Amino acid sequence: MREFLTTPIASAVLWIAVLLVMLVVAYYALRRFRDRIDDDRQTASDLLTNFREMHQEGDISEMEFRTIKTVLGRKLQEELKDADGDE
C-alpha cells in the first residue's frame, strides 16, 4: 500500500485533493469576511447626515456640500429603488 502512495499518479491525486480542500476553506473564509465588510458600509442617508454635520461645523463649504448632496441624492434614490424591489 505504501508503494502505491509513492507513485506519481497517487501523489498528484493527493496534492490535488489537498489543494481543493484549501480552496474550499479559503472560499468560505473570504465569504464570511466580505459579509462582515458589507455590514460595515454606511448608507447614503448616513453619509449625507455626516456631511451635513461637517457643513454645519464649517469643515466643508456650501459648494462642497451641495456637490456631495447631489451625488448622494442619486445614490439615496437608487437605494430606495433597491429597497422597494426587495419587498
Q: Can you give the pLDDT at residue 61?
A: 92
For 25, the grid coordinates are: 476553506
Neighbouring residues of 65: CB distance < 8 A, sequence distance ≥ 6? 51, 52, 54, 55
Q: Can you give the pLDDT at residue 39?
A: 61
Q: What are the tens digits of pLDDT across the range 32-71?
A: 887 776 666 778 888 889 999 999 999 999 999 999 999 8
More confidently predicted of 1 and 16: 16
Per DSSP, 2 falls in state H
Average pLDDT score over residue span 19-40: 84
Q: How far apart are CA 72 and CA 50, in angstroms?
A: 12
Does this model's pTM top 0.75? My answer is no
Q: Can you give the pLDDT at residue 58?
A: 92
More confidently predicted of 33 and 2: 33
For 15, the grid coordinates are: 496534492
Quick count: other Cβ atoms within 10 Å of Cβ 19? Answer: 10
Q: Burial, 72: exposed, middle or buried (Cβ in 10 Å; 0-12, 13-18, 19+)?
A: buried
For 12, the grid coordinates are: 498528484
